[in-house]
A and B are shown apart, each in its own frame.
Chain A
Amino acid sequence: AQKVTQAQTEISVVEKEDVTLDCVYETRDTTYYLFWYKQPPSGELVFLIRRNSFDEQNEISGRYSWNFQKSTSSFNFTITASQVVDSAVYFCASYSGAGSYQLTFGKGTKLSVIP
């Protein structure tokens, strides 16, 4: 069974600070996929990124970057120069290709960016 742990329940930062959201996953499968989703106060879930287990390259998209490290089973998400609009709950999720179609979510990290 897969498991995703987001140890940080809530984080507060002042605008323009950098912030890293941690995600640790557990899986016995060699093929798996990792995701990050954003849930702003309006409630919808917004897809941010998908990585597969064979691609350990870090990803950067504007102020967002992701650090995937198989050695520590981590897929951390960094927001550079945070903005108030980044305030949201962020979910890390994983999916295993081994016959299960279940996307397993962590419990989320609530990020508050203070002006």
Chain B
Amino acid sequence: NAGVTQTPKFQVLKTGQSMTLQCAQDMNHNSMYWYRQDPGMGLRLIYYSASEGTTDKGEVPNGYNVSRLNKREFSLRLESAAPSQTSVYFCASSEFPGWEAFFGQGTRLTVV
């Protein structure tokens, strides 16, 4: 089983460009999450989807949008990238909210 798969693994964007980070899980989990990791900050929740058909803001949602396309897929969109969005992005899933979350390999995004 692949678990949680994120694409792409690396991306460089120019300020103002848009892009979508893709995430898919094959564990039949109900809940999915997007986190960003910055040096010295730990992981911070951007958006989450407790179940298919629902999405909610996390701690740092500004500048991002999400789509829970189906039970397997949860995408994160940057409409107009800014240098402050340079980070490592992790997608995660859990069977239910509060259960152990399993993480993808991460996407290293640089905005110049």
Query: Are chains A and B native binding partners rather than an unrelated pairing?
Result: yes
Residues of chain A lying within 8 A (CB to CB) of residue B59: 102
Among B41, B42, B56, chain A packs the most CB atoms within 10 A around the CB of B42
- The number of inter-chain residue pairs (CB within 8 angstroms) is 46
When C-beta atoms are compared, the residue in chain A nearest to B94 turns out to be: A103
How many residues belonging to B are interface residues under a CB distance threshold of 8 Å? 25
Give Cα A54 to B75, complex, Å. Answer: 35
Interface: A45 (CB within 8 A)? yes
Interface: B33 (CB within 8 A)? yes
Give Cα A101 to B51, complex, Å. Answer: 11
Name the interface residues of A30-50: CB closer than 8 Å to any CB of B: 33, 35, 37, 43-45, 47, 50
How many residues belonging to A are interface residues under a CB distance threshold of 8 Å? 19
Residues of chain A lying within 8 A (CB to CB) of residue B33: 103
Give Cα A91 to B37, complex, Å. Answer: 12
**Contact of A108 with B98 in the complex, beta carbons under 8 Å:** no
Which chain A residues have a beta carbon within 8 Å of chain B's beta carbons? 33, 35, 37, 43-45, 47, 50, 91, 93, 95, 97, 101-103, 105-108
Residues of chain B lying within 8 A (CB to CB) of residue A103: 33, 45, 101
Instruction: Given A91-B42, A101-B56, answer yes or no on A47-B97 (Cβ-Cβ < 8 Å).
Output: no
